[in-house]
Structures are given as C-alpha cells and as structure tokens.
C-alpha cells in the first residue's frame, strides 16, 4: 500500500511538473521562410516599406523591397502585409535565469561570497527552464546578457538566447565581459553599524579603488610570471588584459566615471563600458574621446536630484546620443527580471521625449549588439546575419500595439505561449462566461 501511494505521489508530481513546464525549444529551421509585405525596421535607423525577408539555414539571405506581383518566394510564405518586422531585442545587464523567486533562497544564484570573483561564471548557473525568461519572448526580447551581482568584481557574464534546452545550447557568446561594481565617492551611513544614515563622503573610497588597482596589478604580475601555483581569479583576468573580454563597470557619479576613465588608461584596458551612468552627461565629451559607451538604466524612474528636470531620466539616453556617445538601454533595478520584458517600451519612452523612433529602436538592438560585441550576427536585419527577429501587428515600442504574431531565433520559429498567456486565456474565458449569464 505504501509503495502504491508513493507511485501515485510521484505520478502526481510528474503531471504537475509537465503542466507548468517551459515551452519546448523550437527545432532547427527545416525550410526557407519568406516574410512578405511587412514594414522592416532594420535596427540601424533604416526602414524598408513593403519588404521581403528570406530566412534560410538560420540566416537572413535576402532583405529587399518586395515585388508582390512578379515573384514567387521560396519555402513557407508568411503574409505580413500591414505588420512590422524588427530585429530581436537584446537585454544587457540582466539576472534573468539566475533568480526565479527572490524570497526563496534556493532559487537565487546571482552572487557568491567574496569581493574579487572574476572567475565566477554566470553562464553555468543560467536556468533555461525559468518562467520569467519564457515571458520575455512575447514582447520581442530574444537575447540577453546574464550578469552576476555582488562584490567589487562580481564575475563574468555571458550572452544567451531565450529558447534553449540548457545553458550550453543557450550560449551566444560565453564569458563576454568582466563586471566591476565601482565604489561610490558618497554614500549613506550604514545604520546597522550605528552610522548616521545621511549622505556623506565615503572615507573608504580611495582605499577601495586602491584595492581594485592592486588586484589588477597582482593579476598582471601573475600572468606574466610563474603560473605553477594555480590562481583561478588571476587566470580569469587573462582575457581582460588581452582585450578579448570587455570590462563593464557599474557606476553613476561624475567623479566615479572620471576615475574609471583614468583606471582604463592606467590598466591599458581595450574595451570598457559604463553601466548606469546617471551623471554621464556632464562628461559626455570625455566618454566620447575615451571611446567608452554607456548602458543607460531604465528611463521609467524619477530624478536623483531635486534641481533636475522631472524628465531627466526619460531624455538622458537621447542627450548622450546627441553628444556622440554610443548608448544602449538596460533595465536593472527593482523587479529587474520581470521588468526586462518592458525594454521595448523604455525605448518608446525615450522616443516620446524627443528621440527619433528608429534611433530609439537602435538603443535596444544595433547599439546593444555593438556594446556587447555580437553585432556581426545580431542587432540588425541584414543579409548574412542571424535570422533572430519578430513580427508585430503594430509599433513594437508601444505597449498597446506590440502584439507578436511570429518570433524567430536563428531561424527557429518560437512558441509565444507562456505561463502568463495560459493564465490570461483561462481567466478571460472565466469572465466572458460570467458576463454571458
């Protein structure tokens, strides 16, 4: 009897697990696909009306203005007349797949103990079965940079696509960048240490910067010397010094960013990216001259300072863009994982506050691809690039009209069903039935 009850319990768990499981990843593209008649938003500012886009073997093999009356198009044809085609949206600086439920410690894998953790790799902790990751696709967010958190040096990020069996399948660019949390020159007192909670100069700022500089110097000395005694953190720095791994430095203040520019020079770092950059506008020319791009935080926020315009967060990306800085958008912060799906609407807000709409689109497509170093394959709709794109019934930057009919990653047609869409269908039927009674 006990064995029977055990079998019944296991069967019940299996059934429940299947009913709430992630959508099965799409199979490889088996035939050519021709998308005909849509307005194609290339992602670099260009638009092709009445377009023809042909996808073959996971690549875009043709993108031109269509002649609907004189040509037969290869493979499966999708009539997208009146619709819009966009490159897959790319989400940098996310913890998607690293945390499922913030209040349940067993589902949280975004941080490790310690301050200097360049050898921590977010990719191997990435959970492709995450329901939150699944919910990105119906808004057109198809790729993301998965980033560890915590410490002075958090670890190494990787770029993944959001339709995979496991982290090996998901990887688009493994170990793309090192992430540093730059200390703040001002900070609020730590109440748990009995300090005044007001904002004041950080007396430990210089010491913390020196700690970073010493680690970089020690890593370089180790790599140039005898490696008999294996040191994993130092070994993880090798690609940073060779320029094969970008350095993403999370900072907001003007002084901090100026110090980062100097840090870049002193350590001869080939590629540095500022993440956040709230006060970057004050030193935009310095950033442009140093060739340092900025991933601006979500515009749906309030100003940090009382003297600023109410719409400063909304227009910051445009102002930096106008100043010649390479700009992308990211969505970290409160409830960052679920809010990542709103990335297209953040770009829409930037457009509403003065930026050309196609340029605003580039902040989450072409520019993000360039900043992350994947622009040879992703970020724009161009011949020879990955067939990672989606078809929307309307403007993808407007939450009222961004309704996807199709989405593709490397030519594989994705399911747009998620746990959320299932619940929506379930309860919409419930209330429609009640109204009919």
Full-model pTM: 0.90
Greater model confidence, 103 or 282: 282
Give the pLDDT confidence of 231-265 residue by residue, as tens digits: 999 999 999 999 999 999 999 999 999 999 999 99
When pLDDT is averaged across residues 59-68 and rounded to a whole number, the result is 86
Query: Percent of the chain scored above 70 by pLDDT?
Result: 92
Q: Which among 385, 330, 394 has a CA at the least distance from the CA of 87? A: 385
What pLDDT shows up at residue 10? Answer: 44
Name 252's Cβ contacts closer than 8 Å, sequence gap at least 6: 184, 276, 277, 278, 279, 304
% of residues, the chain, pLDDT over 90: 74
DSSP state of 64: E
Domain ranges of the chain: 22-87+380-437, 89-378
Same CATH topology for 22-87+380-437 and 89-378: the answer is no
Reply yes or no on whether the pLDDT at 13 is more than 50.
Answer: no
CB 352 within 8 A of CB 59: no
Q: Bridge-partner residues for 160, per DSSP?
A: 144, 171
> To which CATH superfamily is domain 89-378 assigned?
Metal-dependent hydrolases (3.20.20.140)
Q: How confident is the model at residue 24 (pLDDT cuts 50, 70, 90)?
A: confident
- Chain-centroid distance, C-alpha 94: 5
- In CATH, what is the architecture of 22-87+380-437? Roll (2.30)
Report residue 12's pLDDT band, with 50, 70 and 90 as the boundaries. very low
Query: If you average pLDDT over every residue of the chain, what do you get?
Result: 90
**What pLDDT shows up at residue 100?**
81
Spatial separation of the C-alpha atoms in residues 38 and 65, rounded to whole Å: 10
| pLDDT of res. 434 | 67
Question: What pLDDT does 390 receive?
Answer: 98
Judged against a pLDDT cut of 70, whether residue 4 lies above it is answered with no
Q: Is residue 84 classed as helix, strand or coil in its secondary structure?
A: strand
**Which DSSP helix (H) or strand (E) runs through 324?**
none
Please tell me the predicted confidence (pLDDT) of residue 126: 95
Tell me the pLDDT tens digit for each residue of 152-170.
999 999 999 999 999 999 9
pLDDT tens digit string along 110-126? 778 889 999 999 999 99
CA distances to 105, 167, 296, 337 from 333, in Å: 19, 24, 12, 9
Question: Residue 59 — φ and ψ, nearest 5°?
Answer: -120, 160
DSSP string, 163-174: S-SSHHHHEEEE
pLDDT band at 69 (very low <50, low <70, confident <90, very high): low
The predicted-structure confidence for 318-351, as pLDDT tens digits, reads as follows 999 999 999 999 998 888 888 999 999 999 999 9
Compare 97 and 362 and report the one with higher pLDDT. 362
Among candidate residues 378, 374, 357, 381, the one with its CA nearest the CA of residue 85 = 381
Distance from C-alpha of 150 to C-alpha of 415, rounded to nearest angstrom: 34
**pLDDT tier at 16, thresholds 50, 70, 90:** very low
* CA–CA gap between residue 48 and residue 84 (Å, rounded): 10
């Amino acid at each position: 009897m006990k064995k029977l009850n055990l079998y019944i319990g296991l069967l019940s768990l299996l059934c429940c697990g299947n009913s709430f499981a992630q959508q099965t990843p799409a199979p490889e593209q088996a035939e050519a696909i021709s998308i005909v008649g849509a307005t194609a938003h290339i992602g670099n500012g260009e638009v092709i009306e009445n377009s023809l886009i042909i996808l073959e073997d996971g690549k875009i093999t043709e993108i031109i203005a269509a002649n609907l009356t004189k040509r037969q198009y290869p493979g499966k044809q999708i009539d997208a007349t009146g619709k819009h085609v966009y490159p897959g949206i790319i989400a940098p600086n996310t913890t998607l797949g690293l945390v499922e439920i913030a209040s349940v410690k067993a589902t949280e894998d975004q941080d490790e103990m310690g301050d200097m953790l360049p050898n921590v790799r977010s990719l191997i902790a990435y959970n492709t079965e995450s329901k939150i990751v699944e919910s990105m696709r119906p808004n057109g967010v198809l790729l993301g940079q998965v980033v560890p958190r915590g410490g002075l040096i958090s670890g190494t990020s990787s770029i993944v696509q959001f339709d995979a069996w496991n982290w090996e399948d998901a990887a688009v660019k493994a170990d793309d960048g090192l992430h540093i949390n730059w200390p703040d020159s001002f900070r609020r007192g730590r109440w748990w240490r009995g300090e005044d909670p007001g904002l004041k100069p950080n007396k430990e700022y210089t010491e913390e910067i020196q700690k970073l500089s010493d680690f970089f110097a020690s890593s370089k000395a180790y790599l140039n010397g005898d490696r008999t005694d294996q040191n994993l953190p130092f070994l993880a720095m090798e690609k940073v010094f060779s320029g094969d791994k970008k350095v993403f430095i999370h900072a907001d203040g003007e002084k901090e960013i100026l110090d980062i520019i100097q840090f870049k020079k002193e350590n001869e770092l080939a590629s540095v990216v500022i993440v956040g950059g709230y006060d970057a506008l004050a030193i935009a020319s310095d950033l442009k001259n140093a060739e340092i791009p900025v991933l601006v935080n979500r515009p749906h926020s309030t100003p940090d300072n009382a003297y600023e315009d109410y719409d400063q967060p909304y227009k910051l990306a445009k102002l930096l863009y106008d100043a010649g800085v390479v700009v992308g958008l990211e969505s970290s912060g409160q409830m960052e994982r679920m809010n990542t799906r709103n990335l297209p609407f953040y770009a829409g807000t930037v457009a509403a506050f003065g930026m050309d709409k196609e340029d605003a689109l580039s902040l989450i497509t072409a520019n993000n691809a360039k900043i992350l170093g994947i622009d040879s394959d992703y970020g724009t709709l161009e011949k020879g690039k990955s067939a990672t794109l989606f078809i929307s019934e309307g403007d993808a930057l407007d939450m009222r009209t961004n309704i996807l009919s199709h989405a593709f990653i490397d030519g594989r047609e994705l399911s747009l069903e998620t746990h959320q869409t299932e619940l929506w269908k379930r309860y919409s039927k419930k209330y429609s039935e009640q109204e009919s009674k």
